[in-house]
Amino acid sequence: MIPLEQTSDGVVLCIKPHPGAHRNAITGSHDGALKVAVSQAPEKGKAMAAILALLAKSLGLKKNQFELLSGQTSTQKKILIRGISAEELTQKIETVLGELELESGDSAASE
């Protein structure tokens, strides 16, 4: 489970980005952070924009609900998500991670 911090502005989510990946996807969790891979290179904010767009699409939220709080050049970033409770966000993340587990289970079964 990924710990979330509820604030008066929204919910803070820690992510571990992987820019320059082969595909755009949420790839799991590690050390209390959501792992997010994007194909964009980490230059001029392109990867961060791709990460926020991917999170919005994957979690069924709007891009303007997301804001980078800290970690612009770090390997771990904190994202503020507005307009959602920690409980709702936890459910959405668990759904995405559950689908990820199903996909990896299906591919393992077909090998």
Q: Count structural domains, the chain.
A: 1
Interacting residues of 50 by C-beta distance below 8 A, sequence separation 6+ = 19, 24, 38, 39, 40
Phi, psi of 40 (to 5 degrees): -65, 145
Per-residue pLDDT for 105 more than 70? no
The pLDDT of residue 71: 85
State pTM to two decimals. Answer: 0.87
Per-residue pLDDT for 54 more than 80? yes
The pLDDT of residue 43: 85
DSSP notation for 28-74: EEETTEEEEEESS-SSTTHHHHHHHHHHHHHHT--GGGEEEEE-TTS
Domain range holding 36? 5-110
Mean pLDDT of 48-61: 95
The CATH number of whichever domain residue 13 belongs to comes to: 3.30.1200.10
